[in-house]
Chain A
């Protein structure tokens, strides 16, 4: 319609057209918001946009991006996954302990262990949701306790510290390739793969279908149960992977690690324009949402706010994004309704 309308009414003012595109593409409005936010920050501290600082921000949001993408798929299918922190903790603890016990095991195998653990835990979630028909919020509320408890059982209450792990393992996130750290590379790979998956594969598109209109999706032959199951396997896998990275990056594995991290993941999704009703949103938006949070956290000291303001500012930004998204959506629906009978 955009194209055809432009054709029909070439006199439409440019500004109006831009506004329209912004309303259509949430990612675009997020970029603009980000830019607006950056202006005063950069004005106050020009070093903010230095390569060093950008690198720091990107490193900070790498794990969050991976996790937020996992959460994204679940929300897209009209569910929610609260096991983020618990799966990260278990897989992170397992990775740390493996490295401590067998220092010779290569890093790749440790990462694979994390991925495997995440996939297994995600499968259990998926099984309960898709085949046990338990609402996602209840399922993951239950399994988040179970997985967190299993972490304690695994570690017997102890923790793994930096000097108990090999320097190869805890040093690997900082190893650079082409001037970019391995951690960022990992995030880039995940983003690229999931972007491809969500846009160009049939199962990826079917998640959109199930979340957008489950009845219609069944009508055209989408397997609902399998799709819902798959969504949780994907999220679990990404959380597990993030767990291994977490332990390496922060050079320690404790039982309480990543507690409450699910809220950050969901916040990145909400900021990225992912609709809680399911069926709407995209990977670039989620990554931008994570970036937004990263910039926000990084910028607090610049505007003389201590890091203790982090939670508060994040909450307000998320609420604002939520209100804007809702109001814009409702306006659109009303317009469409009016259009319907206006003849």
Chain B
């Protein structure tokens, strides 16, 4: 009898523990936490400003972050493999300069698109070849190419701005789809995010990215062409930066050499905030997409409240640090608790004996 009661009690304990366990598991999932923060933010701003939950405003606000969010997509791949690229803002400057010059020479919209993408792709490919070819640290190489790419734009443009573009070029960065109020940029971003997310989570290539990031040696021993994958990543990064350059130029219809300064750090922030481990091998597309909207709307909301952009930078910086610190603290907490429970159980056994 007593034994049976004991057993029942034990089972219940285990069940409760299991239930609580899965809840903590869920709550400590970074994407879920980000989602909760996002909802809290929406509630917060919509209470403080009647203009926040306005459909048109919400759509319009995406112009401010779509290009960065687009660049965050291939950056996920790069960071997933344990690499980094801090030359992407300079690639934008380079492609914007190329587009501006070509446009001044009378090239049409399609041609401009091709030139912007080609320049970006080439710049990314050069990064990839330098890093894997000489086996040099990614941060050092992209630091140098950061100067080189922007330097080319600077040397050529000096203080000037390229401001003549064909009619209709402004569509990509400024306009809405059809008669709706949905920006073209936003739709493009979402389509690209779905494609890139599909590749990341549902393709052989994505699987290889995770493998390289978690265990580079095991990946190599499994026949994965690690160098090739890294070069492709950097090339993709260049291609997307070129695209962002086109969109940005189209949006502001002007190309200066100091365009998009410090965007590389903002993009990396989005990716890390989205839960991608800077050491590689961990992270999801969902997390980064949520992080992009979170940061974008945080900026928009604070703008509505007439808080300067500066508070914004503080908030984002803090978020970034918390994003990395929190899981670590939770881990330590969990381990400590486990340890304590084990100790308690051991003590209990000891007294029984």
Which chain A residues have a beta carbon within 8 Å of chain B's beta carbons?
Answer: 80, 82, 128, 132-135, 137-139, 141-146, 148-153, 157, 255, 259-260, 263, 266-267, 270, 276-277, 305-306, 308-316, 318-319, 322-323, 326-327, 330
Q: Is B310 positioned at the interface, with any CB of A under 8 Å from its CB?
A: yes
> Closest Cβ of chain B: how far from A332's Cβ, in Å?
14
Instruction: Tell me whether B146 and A141 are in contact (CB under 8 A).
Output: no
Given contacts A144-B265, A277-B137, A322-B144, contact A138 B151 (CB under 8 A): no
Which chain B residues have a beta carbon within 8 Å of chain A's beta carbons?
Answer: 84, 130, 134-137, 139-141, 143-152, 154-155, 157-158, 257, 261-262, 265, 268-269, 272, 278-279, 308-314, 316-318, 320-321, 324-325, 328
> Closest Cβ of chain A: how far from B155's Cβ, in Å?
5
Instruction: Tell me whether B313 and A148 are in contact (CB under 8 A).
Output: yes
Instruction: Tell me whether B325 and A314 are in contact (CB under 8 A).
Output: no
> Closest Cβ of chain A: how far from B314's Cβ, in Å?
4
Instruction: Tell me whether B155 and A318 are in contact (CB under 8 A).
Output: no
Q: Which residue of A lies closest to B312 (CB)?
A: A149
A259 proximity list for chain B (CB < 8 A): 261-262
Q: A308-B158, A315-B151 are in contact. List 14 more A-B contacts (CB 8 A).
A: A82-B265, A134-B325, A137-B278, A141-B269, A142-B318, A142-B321, A149-B311, A157-B310, A267-B147, A270-B144, A277-B137, A308-B257, A319-B141, A319-B144
How long is the Cα–Cα vector from A276 to B131 in the complex, in angstroms?
13
How long is the Cα–Cα vector from A311 to B268 in the complex, in angstroms?
23
Instruction: Tell me whether A150 and B154 are in contact (CB under 8 A).
Output: no
Q: Which residue of A lies closest to B158 (CB)?
A: A308
How long is the Cα–Cα vector from A27 to B328 in the complex, in angstroms?
41
Q: Which residue of B lies closest to A85 (CB)?
A: B262
Q: Which residue of B lies closest to A151 (CB)?
A: B310
Instruction: Tell me whether A153 and B136 are in contact (CB under 8 A).
Output: no
Given contacts A153-B311, A277-B137, A326-B136, contact A267 B158 (CB under 8 A): no
Q: Which residue of B lies closest to A277 (CB)?
A: B137
How long is the Cα–Cα vector from A133 to B327 in the complex, in angstroms?
11
> Closest Cβ of chain A: how far from B326's Cβ, in Å?
10
How long is the Cα–Cα vector from A306 to B159 in the complex, in angstroms?
12
Q: Which residue of A lies closest to B133 (CB)?
A: A323
Instruction: Tell me whether B308 and A152 are in contact (CB under 8 A).
Output: yes
Interface centre among A141, A310, A323, A330 (most CB of B within 10 A): A141
Given contacts A138-B324, A141-B269, A260-B262, contact A330 B144 (CB under 8 A): no
Instruction: Tell me whether A312 and B146 are in contact (CB under 8 A).
Output: no
> Closest Cβ of chain A: how far from B5's Cβ, in Å?
46
Q: Which residue of A lies closest to B150 (CB)?
A: A311
Q: List 7 A-B contacts (CB under 8 A).
A: A135-B279, A142-B269, A146-B313, A259-B262, A316-B147, A323-B130, A323-B134
A311 proximity list for chain B (CB < 8 A): 147-148, 150-151, 154-155
Instruction: Tell me whether A141 and B268 are in contact (CB under 8 A).
Output: yes
How long is the Cα–Cα vector from A152 to B317 in the complex, in angstroms?
14
Which of the residues A135, A138, A149 comes within 8 Å of B310, measured between beta carbons? A149
Instruction: Tell me whether B140 and A270 are in contact (CB under 8 A).
Output: yes
B320 proximity list for chain A (CB < 8 A): 138, 141-142, 145
B135 proximity list for chain A (CB < 8 A): 326, 330
- 8 residue pairs, one from A and one from B, having the closest CB atoms: A312-B151, A315-B147, A152-B310, A145-B317, A149-B314, A315-B148, A311-B151, A146-B317
> Closest Cβ of chain A: how far from B122's Cβ, in Å?
16
B308 proximity list for chain A (CB < 8 A): 152, 157
How long is the Cα–Cα vector from A263 to B148 in the complex, in angstroms?
12
Q: Which residue of A lies closest to B277 (CB)?
A: A135
Given contacts A144-B317, A319-B145, contact A137 B139 (CB under 8 A): yes
Instruction: Tell me whether B144 and A315 are in contact (CB under 8 A).
Output: yes
Instruction: Tell me whether B311 and A138 are in contact (CB under 8 A).
Output: no
Instruction: Tell me whether A149 and B158 are in contact (CB under 8 A).
Output: no
Given contacts A138-B321, A149-B317, contact A267 B143 (CB under 8 A): yes
Instruction: Tell me whether A149 and B313 are in contact (CB under 8 A).
Output: yes
How long is the Cα–Cα vector from A28 to B137 in the complex, in angstroms?
24
> Closest Cβ of chain A: how far from B133's Cβ, in Å?
10
> Closest Cβ of chain A: how far from B209's Cβ, in Å?
19
Instruction: Tell me whether A128 and B262 are in contact (CB under 8 A).
Output: no
Instruction: Tell me whether A318 and B147 are in contact (CB under 8 A).
Output: yes
> Closest Cβ of chain A: how far from B23's Cβ, in Å?
26
Q: Which residue of A lies closest to B159 (CB)?
A: A308
B155 proximity list for chain A (CB < 8 A): 305-306, 308-309, 311-312
Q: Which residue of B lies closest to A153 (CB)?
A: B310
Interface centre among B310, B318, B320 (most CB of A within 10 A): B310
Instruction: Tell me whether A137 and B84 are in contact (CB under 8 A).
Output: yes
Given contacts A128-B325, A152-B310, A263-B147, contact A312 B278 (CB under 8 A): no
> Closest Cβ of chain A: how far from B136's Cβ, in Å?
5
Instruction: Tell me whether A327 and B134 are in contact (CB under 8 A).
Output: yes
Instruction: Tell me whether B325 and A132 are in contact (CB under 8 A).
Output: yes
A276 proximity list for chain B (CB < 8 A): 137, 139-140
Instruction: Tell me whether B148 and A138 are in contact (CB under 8 A).
Output: no
How long is the Cα–Cα vector from A137 to B158 in the complex, in angstroms?
31
A132 proximity list for chain B (CB < 8 A): 325, 328
Instruction: Tell me whether A263 and B143 are in contact (CB under 8 A).
Output: yes
How long is the Cα–Cα vector from A141 to B155 in the complex, in angstroms?
28
How long is the Cα–Cα vector from A305 to B151 in the complex, in angstroms?
13
How long is the Cα–Cα vector from A319 to B310 in the complex, in angstroms?
34
B318 proximity list for chain A (CB < 8 A): 142, 146
A128 proximity list for chain B (CB < 8 A): 321, 325
How long is the Cα–Cα vector from A146 to B257 in the complex, in angstroms?
26
How long is the Cα–Cα vector from A146 to B130 in the complex, in angstroms?
33
B140 proximity list for chain A (CB < 8 A): 266, 270, 276, 322
Which of the residues B145, B157, B261, B314 comes within 8 Å of A315, measured between beta carbons? B145
B152 proximity list for chain A (CB < 8 A): 312
Given contacts A145-B313, A309-B151, contact A135 B143 (CB under 8 A): no
> Closest Cβ of chain B: how far from A305's Cβ, in Å?
8
How long is the Cα–Cα vector from A306 to B309 in the complex, in angstroms?
34
